[in-house]
Amino acid sequence: MELRRKLLKGGVSATLLAPLLGAGLLTPGRVLASEWKRSAFTAQNAADALTRLGVAASAESREIEFKAPEIAENGGKVEIEILCKLPNTRSLLIIAEKNPMPLCAELNFNGKALPYARVQLKLAETMRIRAVARTADGRNHVAFREIKVTLGGCGG
């Protein structure tokens, strides 16, 4: 039952992929790059999601420019925009604190990509959104925005 649930919930476990790796049908880089971080994404609160991603304390930073509407009439599509001005930002995490599964997205920036993103979220209710930026020195930085939602977005 548990296995079936896992398969239904999407993706294939590493155990199932292992024989394919051995047979040379999949290259390890490809598998690693695309393995969805299930335990973090299915965590039911922000603290667990961050722990499962290995993110310890984050310092609040004014160098993260975070634009979000104060009020969202439709929680089904709420656009937020994040620009991190800290040097060597490698990734951004977007966390909707009161969603049933708070971790919304992890974005990793390579090459000449700027640590910038505009993303559309579903928000279940009025809540605080957290943007966590991870820099190459291993530090984590955070910024918050409160969004008031008049019509929740998880049912629709």
What number of chain residues touch another protein (CB under 8 A)? 44
| Residue 20 touches another protein, criterion: CB under 8 A | no
- Of 46, 64, 89, 106, the one binding another protein (CB under 8 A) is 106
Q: Which of 46, 50, 84, 104 binds another protein (CB under 8 A)?
A: 104
DSSP 18: H
- Residue 60 carries which side chain, given as an amino acid letter? E
Query: Does residue number 76 form part of the binding site for another protein (CB under 8 A)?
Result: yes
Considering the complex, state which of residue 1 and residue 59 has its C-beta at the smaller distance from another protein: 1
Measured between alpha carbons, how far is 23 from 86 in angstroms, rounded to an integer?
43
Yes or no: say if 60 and 86 are a contact pair by the CB < 8 Å rule: no
- Compute how many other C-beta atoms are within 10 angstroms of the C-beta atom of residue 42: 15
Give SS3 for 26: coil
| Binding footprint of another protein on the chain (CB under 8 A) | 8-12, 33-37, 41, 76-79, 81, 96, 99-101, 103-114, 116-123, 153-156
